[in-house]
């Protein structure tokens, strides 16, 4: 089963994403801050991290530390933060995709599937 960590301080959004993704047969864990996400990442590995950049702690620092400790974990950023400089900074951290909220569930599912598939192909190389 594919495991996803959702790191976002928006509790209703996390709950909605969790319900939808668990319905798609993903194993989902949640974190409400960058610190909580790092704690979860220290406890177990994830196939994919779905993270906001604007949350308690630094979402960008989370991405940096994730790249150092879990370089093979696929990362998708889902954020309402609309700043081209931040987007460039996030992309430089090697995220699979940078999505702006709101995003349709169908589009998000497609991106997650593509991220997991790309990660699987990279692991087989």
Residue pLDDT, tens place only, 9-36: 999 999 999 999 999 999 999 999 999 9
Q: What is 71-106 written as a DSSP string? A: TTSEEEEEES---HHHHHHHHHTT-SEEEESS--HH
CATH code of the domain containing 59: 3.40.50.2300
A 10 A CB-CB count for 36 gives: 19
Its domain, for residue 10, covers 3-124
pTM: 0.92
Check whether 125 has a pLDDT greater than 80. Answer: no
Check whether 123 has a pLDDT greater than 60. Answer: no
β-strands 97-100, 74-79 pairing: parallel
Number of domains in the chain: 1
Q: What is the pLDDT of residue 96?
A: 94
Instruction: State how far the Cα of 88 lies from the Cα of 65, in Å rounded to an integer.
Output: 17
Share of the chain above pLDDT 70, in %: 94
Q: What is the pLDDT of residue 8?
A: 96
pLDDT band at 118 (very low <50, low <70, confident <90, very high): confident
């Amino acid at each position: 089963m594919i495991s996803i960590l959702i790191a976002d301080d928006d509790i209703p959004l996390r709950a909605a994403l969790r319900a939808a993704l668990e319905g798609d047969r993903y194993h989902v864990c949640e974190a409400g801050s960058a610190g909580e996400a790092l704690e979860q990442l220290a406890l177990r590995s994830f196939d994919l991290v779905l993270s906001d950049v604007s949350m308690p702690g630094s979402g960008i620092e989370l991405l940096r530390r994730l790249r150092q400790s879990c370089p093979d974990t696929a990362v998708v950023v889902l954020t309402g933060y609309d700043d081209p400089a931040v987007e460039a900074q996030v992309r430089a951290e090697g995220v699979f995709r940078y999505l702006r909220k709101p995003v349709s569930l169908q589009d998000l599912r497609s991106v997650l599937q593509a991220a997991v598939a790309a990660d699987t192909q990279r692991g087989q190389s």
